[in-house]
Amino acid sequence: MSTFLGLAKWLRLALAGEDLAPFGQSLLQRAADDPSDSAALLDASIVLQCLGNAEMGLRLQREALGQQRRYRIPATGTARLRLLALMAPGAIMANVPVECLLAGRDIELDLYYVSSTVPEPVDLPEHDLLFVAIGESEANRTLLEAWTPRLRDWPRPVLNDPRRILEVARDRACRRLQGRPGLVAPLTARLDRGRLRELVGKEGRGGLDFPLLVRPLDSHAGQGLTKVDTPEALRAVLDAQSSQTFFVSPFVDYRSPDGRFRKFRVVLIDGRPFAVHMGVSDHWMIHYLNAGMDVSAAKRAEEAAFMADFERDFARRHAHALAAVHAAFGLDYLGIDCAETLDGRLLIFEVDPAMVVHDMDPIELYPYKPAAMHRVFEAFRAFLIAAADCRSPGLPSDT
């Protein structure tokens, strides 16, 4: 098997401002010299996606997976554990970024890109633990459903039950969280464009109440997400979007008393919360890369305080709400994007195990982040080791 470098390598270089184009050219040349070098194709796929060429990147990925579905990232030093991660073909955000969570650690990681055909365990690499790293999406639902029956009697412990991953879909998750203590989870409807057009003319009469958030199905990172305040604005969104299906939810104004918006990313590892980042913005639609954290020392100082005091402050204030999220989904590893309402409740934007989590921001700007992310990574490692030692094989019998 040829050497596969993987997501963590390329994402670190991209976030450091390196020009990835020469690396991509070198990988493509390597694949041209040896057409059986599927690792070069898969690495080139990641590089091209980082460069913004998703179409070519996914084409290269299909070529790579046509040759080989298993790719290994060796442990640093002697392997303490062999982890098999089930991955879905698709864009970078289709899966839990397991490589970033385990980079530089003593866990041997085998990535297996699944199809709806489930191989026998003996046809996969030896492993101590299986982790379902597939994120929820329309494209991934058939994969999660296909693997569920086989994983029930898997000979090794299985983490992140695919049945439970299916429940984090936006329209399902909000219903699971209704009435939970300390939480606000706006009801989200999945509607096709025809039904949306029908409802536009029924404002306040069993139709739509504005303002609303409208997003194309399976969009992430704010792509296509729009706040609409009037029927006319909604019609304009439908005219501008090619998507046939949308998620629609009421807009909740989560502005802080100082007029700014604050969005938090938290991960739950075996139910225990950890801080990932905090974005501060004058605009309601916050994503870490557009919040201007890199140009504001004051914002970074606020994030540093959030991370340093997380267990004593945020996690303690929202302990019941975070425990309720864990109870609602029961996933071993889960990401949460959230905010705080003026009355002190936790406003849930999204729950998804495949959220981006890494420690690759420039240390000169974010000197407080390595310690916080080290806590995440060490907790993940420790949980994997404990699960391999203590868990029963296969999926739990409950749903």
- Residue in the block written with tokens 């991960």: 267
Average pLDDT, the chain: 93
Contact yes or no for 7/57 (Cβ under 8 A): no
Q: Residue 288: its pLDDT value, please?
A: 86
Q: What is the CATH number of domain 261-390?
A: 3.30.470
| DSSP sequence for 139-188 | HHHHHHHHHHHHHTT-SSBEES-HHHHGGGSHHHHHHHTTT-TTEE----
| pLDDT tens digits, 200-253 | 766 555 467 889 999 888 665 556 789 999 888 988 888 888 888 899 999 999
Q: Do domains 187-250 and 261-390 have the same CATH topology?
A: no
Q: Residue 396: its pLDDT value, please?
A: 80
C-alpha angle 186-192-197 in degrees, rounded to nearest 5? 95
Q: Residue 370: its pLDDT value, please?
A: 96
SS3 content of the chain, % helix, strand, coil (to 5): 40, 20, 40
Candidates 306, 298, 267, 304; CA nearest to 281 is: 298
- Amino acid 205 reads R
Residue 196 to residue 191: CA distance in whole angstroms:
6
Residue 313 to residue 26: CA distance in whole angstroms:
48
Q: Which residues contact 338 (CB under 8 A, 6 or more apart)?
A: 263, 264, 265, 266, 346, 347, 348, 349
- The Cβ of residue 397 has, within 10 Å, a number of other Cβ atoms equal to 7
Candidates 40, 36, 31; CA nearest to 5 is: 40
Would you state the structure tokens that stand for residue 104, as one six-digit string?
């530089």
Q: Residue 62: its pLDDT value, please?
A: 97
398 to each of 60, 151, 282, how far by Cα in Å? 39, 13, 44
Contact yes or no for 256/308 (Cβ under 8 A): no
Contact yes or no for 182/318 (Cβ under 8 A): yes
Q: Residue 77: its pLDDT value, please?
A: 93
Number of H helices, E strands in the chain: 14, 14
- The Cβ of residue 258 has, within 10 Å, a number of other Cβ atoms equal to 7
Helix (H) or strand (E) holding 77: none
Name the CATH code of domain 187-250 (choices 3.40.50.720, 3.40.50.300, 3.30.1490.20, 3.30.450.20).
3.30.1490.20
Helices 21-33 and 38-50, packing angle to 10 deg: 160
Q: Residue 3: its pLDDT value, please?
A: 85
Contact yes or no for 67/36 (Cβ under 8 A): yes
This prediction has a pTM of 0.93
Percentage with pLDDT > 90 across the chain: 81
Candidates 160, 83, 77, 161; CA nearest to 128 is: 83
Domain ranges across the chain: 7-158, 187-250, 261-390
Instruction: Please say whether the dihedral angle defined by the alpha carbons of residues 31, 35, 37 and 42, taken in this order, is positive or negative.
Output: positive
Would you state the structure tokens that stand for residue 282, as one six-digit string?
């004058």
Residues in the chain: 399
Residue 245 to residue 11: CA distance in whole angstroms:
31
- The parts of the chain modelled with pLDDT lower than 70 are 1-2, 201-207, 218-223, 398-399
Q: Residue 202: its pLDDT value, please?
A: 64
| pLDDT tens digits, 127-175 | 999 999 999 998 999 999 999 999 999 999 999 999 999 999 999 999 9
